[in-house]
Amino acid sequence: MSKVVTAEQAVSSITNGQTVAASGVIGWIVPDKTLKALGARFESTGSPRDLTFYFPCGTGDAVGIKGMDHVAREGLMKRIVSGSYINPVDPATGKRPALMGLIHENKVEAYSWPIGASMQWLREVARKSPGYITRVGLGTYADPECGGGKFTAACEDDLIRKITLDGEELLYYPTWNIDVAIIRATSADEFGNLSFEEEPLLSSGMALAMAAKASGGKVIAQVKYLVKRGERAATQIRFPGIFVDQIVVDNEMHMGSEVQDDRAYLQPTSSFSGLPDIPFGFDKVIARRAALEVRQQELSIFGFGAAADIPLVMAEQGLLTPENTYDKYWFTTEHGSYGGIVMNGWQFSANRHPDALIDGLMQFDAIDGGLCRFAALAFAEFDGEGTVNVSKFGKANPGAGGFTDIAANAQRLVFTGSFTTGGLNISYQDGKMRIEQEGKVSKFVKQAQSITYRVRDGVLKGQTAIIVTERAVFEVTPEGLVLTEIAPGADMQRDILDLMAVKPVAIHQPLPLMDRSLFLP
């Protein structure tokens, strides 16, 4: 009996109250056709209802590849647990994702976990363990004493608990069953043997499937191609068909957001080409300054946002070639792409011209094991307690993604971002900056709206951390921030100190200027 079904047939057996899990990283490896069919079934029939959705990472871009937004329907979605959320404004409609509407209107139980936990938890479900235990996240938004990962008032259950084991406080994520796993691969035969030859990331798909099978659940695999059994070598098969229940074929499946099919995301090259330009402006100034902190032969991990511009700036400066990314510069992201060039925007997570890929769980083994010694991460707020926030601020609820795990386990940290946000406009001339319009909101606050990582605690344990903005550089010390550099053309009092809710504890004297070359187009 063939396992090949339509997307509509695949989702027809999902019943009220089940837990449905799906893979995806922004637009990469998203089983979009199947998620769309589930949302459409609810719209036309009113069922199934009250589902719990589990997304280890933000799935879909909510625009061209809607992903989790397909199932963001009141009544269909009772609860969502995700490692991150997608919150862009659709350029065509000017609207934010439907899922953000449910969250802002408190119409869904929305939980956010660090992606390290959302990945590693699957391993515990698959082996029928009581739960996942970790030190990562203590004292952050994931800690029950700081919110327990609850993003809406509708959340009543404590999905994360604090326990004491051998006298040490730890976070404990109890397991529960996954009834349906919807994953994506490139090819399947009719038995369901899966290969991933055109996927630039592996992420959590295989772990989701094993967790579902251990729970007595069902695995739906969406693929682009159906091939004959025996046509591929066993070494190409990454997941055995014995664990796959149904196959959905989508020949129109895009590789990722704004990427139809680009082999540059699949293999090394003899020359880097086709890299996006970063227009000159304060984002580029920040990336240039942060790039000075990158060292050779040190595994460096880059986070989403401003930090992802750093490798592209280095490539533009001629620092990166295929030869020296093999031998000198070692780059990765939280989703397991190694080597090549880390990309920004909607192409983040999958490196261009990678050397190797590992799956998401193994990547967080590397991250939590401290193998990524240097980390460049964006920031939304930094407060007087030495806390950095990227997880929840204003009307944005992106979650932490891999930030908490990465920050907790790296040895050297660089946080990048503009000093203010909301209308900031800066001009440049002769290597100097001039603020034409100040941003409405300063990122240096008295108390952060959410605690994504306690940087000061990490510094007390031996980490080093700096903050790079377009007008100033700070060192994080146990006592507070120290102003170490200022941009040419910036006024220290007006442009820096007056905009900080908590002032630096010290200012280097004499105060060095940031290199003027950073400010030249």
Catalytic residue set: 334
DSSP 8-state class, residue 413: E
Question: Cis omega (within 30 of 0) on the bond before 478?
Answer: no
One-letter amino acid at 471 equals R
Q: In whole angstroms, what is the distance from residue 399 CA to residue 403 CA?
A: 9
Angle between helices 282-291 and 309-316 (to 10 degrees): 80
- Provide the CA 49 distance to its chain's centre, in angstroms: 29
- For tokens 């159906």, the residue is 226
Contact of 468 with 475, CB cutoff 8 Å: no
- For tokens 């029950």, the residue is 144
Q: In whole angstroms, what is the distance from residue 186 CA to residue 225 CA?
A: 6
Q: In whole angstroms, what is the distance from residue 313 CA to residue 341 CA?
A: 10
CA dihedral 472, 476, 482, 485 (to 10 degrees): -30
- For tokens 């349906």, the residue is 180
Q: Which two tokens stand for residue 354?
A: 């990678």
Phi, psi of 36 (to 5 degrees): -65, -40
Give the number of other Cβ atoms within 10 Å of residue 3's Cβ: 18
Q: In whole angstroms, what is the distance from residue 51 CA to residue 74 CA?
A: 10
Residues contacting 105, CB < 8 A, separation 6+: none
- DSSP per-residue letters across 447-507: S-SS-SEEHHHHHHTT-EEEEE-SSEEEEEETTEEEEEEE-TT--IIIIIGGG-SS--SEE
Contact of 452 with 140, CB cutoff 8 Å: yes
Q: In whole angstroms, what is the distance from residue 82 CA to residue 68 CA?
A: 10
Q: In whole angstroms, what is the distance from residue 490 CA to residue 329 CA?
A: 33
Radius of gyration of the chain (CA): 23
Contact of 64 with 31, CB cutoff 8 Å: no
Beta strand pairing call for 168-174 and 161-165: antiparallel
Contact of 300 with 375, CB cutoff 8 Å: yes
- Alpha helices in 197-255, H assignment, sequence order: 205-214
Q: In whole angstroms, what is the distance from residue 145 CA to residue 169 CA?
A: 12
